[in-house]
């Protein structure tokens, strides 16, 4: 509770200063002899305690120095505010004034941190003896709590208000000050990359216009260590094997309201691999099978991830061949004169050390098995330090723990080690409410509840509900990432969606379930097998709509088996500059239900950084086809209807159209293809604003119908007409979500196409 001081009480506020000890000596300097010691002023402290501190013997000679020593011992005991020693003939009088008792503790001036939080860092307690040194330490602890929030200018003064019966109220007067922000982050020694690019690597950020929301623009010394590691990983993954951070110099402004941080770095040369060899130092081990796993090529830019990937593959070969206690040792020889590296993978015999056991502590909610399955090593297996480090990274990547430490220590014998896993649980559930906006759908609201570690089993359970103008959707999701004790990701999703005249003259409703199994089939590839069962309804088709749509009105049940293969180089991250992705999928409908079709989809994309990594280039090719069979004709809910596949056009705004119908309905198509390309780049604004620009160009088409007889028997032209658009984008990364403003212009379209020259996408959580 915060106590406010009135004018009268304020006059009683004083700083508790420790009075100077006093020894009152008679005029003579000769040794004294005391037959008695009299204690005056003690209330709580027993006389025997005072005598033990004084240590003055009766009937013995006592010098002035010994009296002074006794005085110092009493004063340093921390029990008394003032102490006097006065010789009175044969009697030694010790007068003391005890420290008062704390009646209550209160805080004034605190707004950013409440009383309960401040009380948690204060050691002084009510109904205990007041200690000036402890009060000063408590003030420092409060100031440190403010410093952790970036308020280094905070000042805290302990004050006391004297009450009756030798009691005081202890008041901590807080002047919070402003947040000490990072005004500027600079670099010296960087030639290959600009300051802007390197600042994007750091976890620490400069203060910008969103300083109220961004908490990484305050100075935190512990964050600098992470920044050094991030810089090191960034440079070495790009070939700079000799890179190091020589010094980090944070400088506090005179007003203590801003920091200026300078990273002094040494880049060194950029290396490429020259000779890459594999040798064996174990008799009888053929290197051919190991060399076949090499993923480091001559002329490649040096990258530690590529070396680690090759080592893991070679270790797998050793296990397959039954070779235990084998180390794959990378030996690197630098050639600074031509900026190349010679790399040799040496197959050597390691020490015979086994894993005695794996001890797990700190997991109060998460089951042991969730953590243990991140290890490819079990008790009794040969000890592999690299595999233990990889397991530690997998445990941290789960997102279940605020901290996870994995260390090894000697076991019960010289040939055994114990792996200790210490984790600190953190909340894994989230309840979020948000808003969304789209030019076509307008403003919408959404809510979601998700638990990523359900009952400590590592399972995910999620419920989401969203609504917008003419569009409502809800879904329930369950994911088991380790189905049947294997690397099988089982998922189950059920959904209900409904639209009302969403850029169309009809309504739709769909409800369905979709179980799936996903598993890896290569280092970068995963395969998903799924089954879907859905019931879809087309209704509300108006009289001025196409006769094709009127004939399709009703409901259909779809039962389909499908699969998707996805290949993504970002899984291993071997090339930090360029990444590729490929997805191929097919769904076979006809295992019961009304739908008889095969739906095929393909997506291939590439993303690369260019111009000193200041510009990000992206390109995608996407295509799809729906082939019906057994006299089945696709309907509007099967077919492709545009959406966001080609920017610059409204949803359902391109493709075959019944021009004979009064409302010229869009009918969608059985086929589509699209090529999308864009470049994202800085536009000169400070990077802490999170604003960048972009240019894009899209081209593609939607075409093909099973039935081309439209309204009044007029044919519908379902030919493949190419559409194209160009535009500019403004990207803004905000604490409430990423915003993207698209300004587009169709440069090739049909007369009946519906353009969309501006689009804003926003998804926010609060």
Averaged over 440-453, what is the pLDDT? Answer: 82
One domain for residues 212 and 80 = no
Write out 712-729 in H/E/C secondary structure.
HHCECCCCCCCEEEEEEE
Q: What is the CATH number of the domain that holds 134?
A: 3.10.20.310
Q: Higher-confidence residue: 510 or 127?
A: 510
Write out 503-520 in H/E/C secondary structure.
CCCCEEEEEEEEEEEEEE
User: Is residue 4 included in any domain, yes or no?
Assistant: no
Residue pair 581/566 in contact (Cβ under 8 Å)? The answer is: yes
Residues 309-351 pLDDT 10s: 899 889 889 888 888 888 899 999 999 889 999 999 999 998 8
- Sheet containing 416-425, strands listed edge to edge, beginning at the edge strand earlier in sequence: 354-361, 416-425, 401-410
Q: What is the CATH number of the domain that holds 701?
A: 2.40.160.50
Whats the size of the chain, residue-wise? Answer: 766
Domain boundary among 98, 126, 155: 98
Residues 425-436 pLDDT 10s: 998 888 877 666
Identify the pLDDT of residue 14.
36
Token match 């909610």: residue?
365
Q: Which of 213, 219, 206 is nearest to 688 (CA)?
A: 206
Identify the pLDDT of residue 26.
52
User: Is residue 6 included in any domain, yes or no?
Assistant: no
Q: Could you tell me the two tokens for 480? A: 């088991």
Percent residues over pLDDT 70 in the chain: 92
Identify the pLDDT of residue 47.
85
- Mean pLDDT check: name the lowest of 312-326, 397-411, 659-673: 312-326
One domain for residues 332 and 361 = no
Whole domain around residue 69: which residue ranges? Answer: 13-98
Sign of the Cα torsion 114, 116, 122, 128 reads positive
532, pLDDT greater than 90:
yes
- Mean pLDDT check: name the lowest of 253-257, 485-489, 525-529: 253-257
13, pLDDT greater than 60:
no
End-to-end CA distance of the chain: 30
- The angle formed by the CA atoms of residues 393, 425 and 570, to the nearest 5 degrees, is 30
One domain for residues 455 and 564 = yes
Taking all residues of the chain, what is their mean pLDDT, rounded to a whole number?
Answer: 87
CA distance 198 to 223: 16
17, pLDDT greater than 90:
no
Residues 173-222 pLDDT 10s: 999 887 778 889 999 999 999 999 999 899 888 876 655 544 556 777 77
Domain boundary among 376, 403, 425: 425
Identify the pLDDT of residue 81.
80
416, pLDDT greater than 80:
yes
Residues 371-394 pLDDT 10s: 999 998 889 888 988 889 889 989
Residues 243-281 pLDDT 10s: 999 999 998 887 777 889 999 999 999 999 999 999 999
One domain for residues 292 and 363 = no
Identify the pLDDT of residue 587.
97
CA distance 543 to 663: 10
Identify the pLDDT of residue 63.
83
One domain for residues 385 and 445 = no
Domain boundary among 373, 395, 425: 425
Strand locations in 208-339 (E): 244-252, 258-266, 272-280, 326-335
One domain for residues 607 and 490 = yes
One domain for residues 369 and 322 = no
One domain for residues 617 and 682 = yes
Averaged over 627-650, what is the pLDDT? Answer: 89
User: Is residue 2 included in any domain, yes or no?
Assistant: no
Averaged over 115-144, what is the pLDDT? Answer: 90
């Amino acid at each position: 509770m915060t106590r406010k001081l009135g004018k009268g009480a304020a006059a009683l506020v004083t700083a508790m200063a420790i009075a100077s000890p006093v020894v009152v000596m008679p005029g003579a300097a000769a040794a004294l002899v005391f037959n008695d010691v009299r204690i005056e002023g003690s209330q709580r402290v027993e006389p025997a305690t005072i005598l033990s501190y004084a240590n003055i013997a009766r009937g013995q000679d006592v010098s002035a120095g010994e009296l002074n020593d006794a005085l110092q011992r009493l004063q340093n005991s921390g029990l008394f505010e003032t102490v006097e020693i006065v010789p009175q003939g044969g009697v030694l009088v010790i007068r003391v004034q005890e420290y008062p008792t704390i009646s209550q503790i209160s805080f004034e001036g605190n707004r950013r941190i409440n009383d309960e939080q401040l009380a948690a860092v204060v050691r002084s307690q009510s109904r205990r003896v007041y200690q000036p040194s402890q009060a000063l330490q408590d003030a420092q602890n409060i100031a440190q709590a403010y410093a952790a929030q970036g308020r280094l200018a905070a000042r805290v003064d302990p004050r006391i208000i004297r009450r009756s019966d030798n009691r005081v109220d202890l008041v901590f007067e807080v002047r919070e000050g402003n947040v000490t922000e990072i005004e500027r982050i600079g670099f010296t020694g960087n030639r290959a990359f600009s300051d802007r690019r390197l600042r994007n690597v750091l976890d620490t950020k400069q203060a910008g216009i969103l300083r109220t929301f961004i908490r990484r623009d305050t100075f935190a010394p512990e964050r600098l260590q992470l920044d050094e590691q991030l810089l090191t990983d960034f440079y070495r993954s790009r070939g700079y094997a000799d890179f190091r951070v020589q010094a980090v110099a944070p400088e506090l402004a005179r007003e203590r309201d801003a920091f200026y941080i300078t990273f002094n770095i040494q880049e060194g040369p950029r290396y490429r691999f020259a000779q890459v060899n594999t040798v064996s130092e174990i008799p009888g081990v053929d290197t051919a099978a190991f060399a076949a796993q090499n993923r480091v090529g001559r002329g490649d830019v040096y990258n530690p991830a590529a070396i680690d990937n090759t080592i893991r593959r070679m270790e797998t070969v050793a296990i397959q061949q039954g070779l235990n206690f084998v180390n794959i040792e990378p030996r690197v020889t630098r050639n600074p004169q031509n900026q190349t590296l010679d790399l040799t993978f040496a197959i050597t015999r390691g020490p015979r050390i086994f894993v005695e056991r794996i001890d797990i502590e700190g997991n109060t909610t998460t089951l042991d098995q969730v953590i243990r399955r991140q290890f490819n090593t079990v008790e009794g297996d040969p000890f592999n330090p690299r595999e233990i480090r990889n397991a530690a990274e997998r445990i941290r990547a789960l997102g279940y723990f605020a901290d996870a430490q994995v260390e090894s220590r000697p076991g019960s014998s010289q040939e055994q080690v114990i792996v200790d896993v210490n984790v600190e649980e953190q909340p894994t559930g989230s309840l979020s409410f948000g808003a969304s906006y789209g030019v076509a759908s307008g403003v919408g609201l959404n809510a979601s509840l998700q638990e990523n570690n359900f009952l400590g089993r590592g399972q995910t359970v999620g419920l989401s509900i969203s609504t917008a103008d003419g569009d409502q959707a809800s879904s329930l999701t369950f994911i088991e990432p380790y189905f049947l004790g294997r690397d099988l990701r089982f998922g189950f999703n059920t959904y209900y969606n409904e639209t009302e005249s969403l850029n169309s003259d009809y309504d739709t409703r769909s409800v369905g379930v979709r179980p799936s199994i996903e598993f890896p089939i290569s280092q970068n590839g995963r395969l998903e097998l799924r089954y879907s069962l859905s019931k879809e309804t087309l209704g509300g088709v108006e009289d001025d709509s196409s006769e094709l749509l009127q004939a399709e009105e009703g409901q259909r049940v779809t039962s389909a088996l499908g699969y998707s293969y996805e290949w993504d180089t970002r899984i291993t991250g071997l090339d930090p500059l360029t990444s590729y992705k490929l997805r191929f999928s097919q769904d076979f409908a006809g295992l019961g239900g009304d739908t008889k079709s095969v739906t095929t989809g393909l997506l291939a994309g590439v993303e690369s950084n260019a111009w000193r990594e200041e510009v990000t280039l992206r390109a995608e090719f996407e295509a799809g086809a729906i082939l019906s069979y057994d006299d089945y004709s696709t309907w509007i809910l099967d077919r492709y209807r545009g959406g966001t596949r080609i920017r610059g056009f409204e949803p359902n705004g391109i493709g075959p159209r019944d021009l004979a119908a009064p409302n010229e309905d869009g009918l969608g198509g059985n086929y589509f293809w699209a090529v999308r390309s864009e470049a994202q780049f800085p536009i000169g604004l400070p990077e802490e604003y999170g604003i960048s620009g972009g240019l894009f160009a899209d081209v593609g088409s939607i075409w093909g119908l099973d039935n081309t007889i439209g309204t009044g028997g007029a044919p519908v032209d379902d030919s493949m007409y190419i559409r194209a658009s160009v535009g500019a984008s403004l990207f803004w990364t905000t604490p409430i979500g990423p915003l993207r403003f698209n300004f587009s212009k169709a440069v090739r379209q049909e007369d009946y196409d519906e353009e969309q020259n501006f689009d804003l996408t926003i998804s926010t959580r609060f």
